[in-house]
Structure 1
Amino acid sequence: MSADEPPQARERERVLDTVDRVSEMCFGLFMALTFVGTVSAATGGEDAGRKMLFTALGCNLAWGLADAVMYLVRTIADRARRHALALAVQRERDAAAGVRALRERVSAALDPFISDADLEAIRKRIAASETLPERARFVRADFLAALAIFIIIVLSTFPVAAPFVIFTHVPTALLISRVLTLAMLFICGFALGGYAGWSGWKAGLSMMALGVLLTMAIIALGG
């Protein structure tokens, strides 16, 4: 096992984390919902539903691609920063300076619980490592994670836009679209509540309320 594997493993776990999946799903829902809400009133004709679906899908395809690419950018930047720290600690001959460098990277929340002796033990392991790579690199899991983000955002289009294809009556389609979106937001909130140790029902209802408020704010701001 190389010294760079544990951070990569944490990256893979973070991608599959409930918070990330819920966040990406909600982002896709909000994008599609606000777009459908602003366009539906001006859309008419026999092909209105199909145009609505394709337009909303195109919007989320673009945002899904952007979000996936930015995930890769964030991933390699974070990994490069960790790698630079490991190299700096390994090359630092002054043990106290190495400990200080590690201390600067400890989060404020964990700082009181990590002693200098703990950091010194970490410094020694890094200094003794012979498997540090020359530079930070992408791994296969990074691209799979980016693909997953893209797919989640794209799939979130359909509960919002598909009713406009199924129902020709726009007000009916709009109502069903909003009901499905609220149901999806509730499911996301319920899952998030279970992950965080909160009440699933309260978290689901709170997510629904938050979704309504965010959608209203985004539409009001011209989104």
Structure 2
Amino acid sequence: MQGTELQKRARVLDPVDRVTEVIFGLLMAMTFTGTISVATGGQEAERTMMYAALGCNLAWGLADAVMYLLRTLIERTRNRTLLASLRSGTDAAGQALIAEALPPRLSAAAGAEELEALRRRLVAFAGTAVQPRLVWDDFIGALGVFLLVVLSTFPLVVPFLLLDETGLAVRLSNLVGLGVLFISGWILARYAGGKPWQGGVALAVTGAVLITAIIALGG
């Protein structure tokens, strides 16, 4: 039971998926903060853009949370179906199913003996397979996905709350966004075993190009 809970937590907190959620939410918010620079000015227009950015990320976060639950349910149903096929099929068919489920490089490296040993272990494990249903931890994970997307908006909004000059607030907001992108790139590169500073710079530069394109296109 404890192992199952740890696996669920690991999936919820997977660095690539979670950092990607933050990046998506951040870039979506930047679309609106970039639009402020070409809007016809005024505190009312600025406030409208802030509400639009928050509302957009709320909608995106909700949709992403629902997709997380749907993906979790589909994965568990597929796993149960795979285990059932292993139990009812022949040895050769079971090995083929396992080879198909493995990444291509691992499948090519594994021989018939390794595939058969894995097939036997999975058949023995089939009696304790997880049922394809959602549990409380899955909804906690979905809430985490929702919060990651929504909260990524707020670092960009803070300059507009503290500064009266819209132009300066836009530039500072973009700098904050680039800083968050740099940190995200740092985390991803470190997770992948690369050079963190190179990953941070690469993602920040990519973000700068995207921001420029957003502003040039009028948001």
Q: TM-score, normalised by structure 2?
A: 0.88
- The change in CA–CA distance for 1:219 and 1:79 in structure 2 (over 3 A counts) is farther
Aligned residue runs from structure 1 range 91-106, under 5 A: 91-92=88-89, 94-106=90-102
Partner of 2:66: 69
Cα shift at 1:216: 3.9
Matched, 1:158 2:145: no
- The change in CA–CA distance for 1:221 and 1:71 in structure 2 (over 3 A counts) is farther
> What is the alpha-carbon distance in structure 2 between the residues aligned to residue 49 and residue 114 of structure 1?
59
Partner of 2:24: 27
- Residue number among 97, 100, 118 corresponding to 2:114 in the alignment: 118
Contact kept, 8 Å, 2:19 with 2:184, in 1: the verdict is yes
- What secondary structure, in the 3-state scheme, does the structure 2 residue paired with 1:42 have? coil
Matched residue type, 1:150 = F
Q: 5+ unaligned residues in a row in structure 1: which ranges? A: none
Cα shift at 1:100: 1.8
- The change in CA–CA distance for 1:105 and 1:77 in structure 2 (over 3 A counts) is same
Cα shift at 1:62: 0.6
Cα shift at 1:66: 0.9
Partner of 2:165: 169
Partner of 2:144: 148
> What is the alpha-carbon distance in structure 2 between the residues aligned to residue 120 and residue 199 of structure 1?
39
Contact kept, 8 Å, 2:65 with 2:145, in 1: the verdict is yes
> What is the alpha-carbon distance in structure 2 between the residues aligned to residue 40 and residue 25 of structure 1?
23
- The change in CA–CA distance for 1:102 and 1:218 in structure 2 (over 3 A counts) is farther
Matched residue type, 1:138 = L
Cα shift at 1:210: 1.0
User: Superposition RMSD on alpha carbons, in Å?
Assistant: 2.4
Partner of 2:128: 131
Partner of 1:198: 194
Matched, 1:182 2:178: yes
Aligned residue runs from structure 1 range 203-218, under 5 A: 203-217=199-213
- Which shows bigger deviation, 176-185 or 114-123? 114-123
Cα shift at 1:11: 4.7
Cα shift at 1:111: 1.2
- The change in CA–CA distance for 1:89 and 1:222 in structure 2 (over 3 A counts) is farther
Contact kept, 8 Å, 2:38 with 2:215, in 1: the verdict is no
- The change in CA–CA distance for 1:14 and 1:40 in structure 2 (over 3 A counts) is same
- What secondary structure, in the 3-state scheme, does the structure 1 residue paired with 2:105 have? coil
Matched residue type, 1:42 = A
> What is the alpha-carbon distance in structure 2 between the residues aligned to residue 218 and residue 141 of structure 1?
38
> What is the alpha-carbon distance in structure 2 between the residues aligned to residue 65 and residue 79 of structure 1?
22
CA offsets, 1:30-72, max 9 Å, x none? 0000122124432533444433322211111011111111121
> What is the alpha-carbon distance in structure 1 between the residues aligned to residue 38 and residue 216 of structure 2?
15
- The change in CA–CA distance for 1:85 and 1:220 in structure 2 (over 3 A counts) is farther
Q: TM-score, normalised by structure 1?
A: 0.86
More helix, by proportion: 2
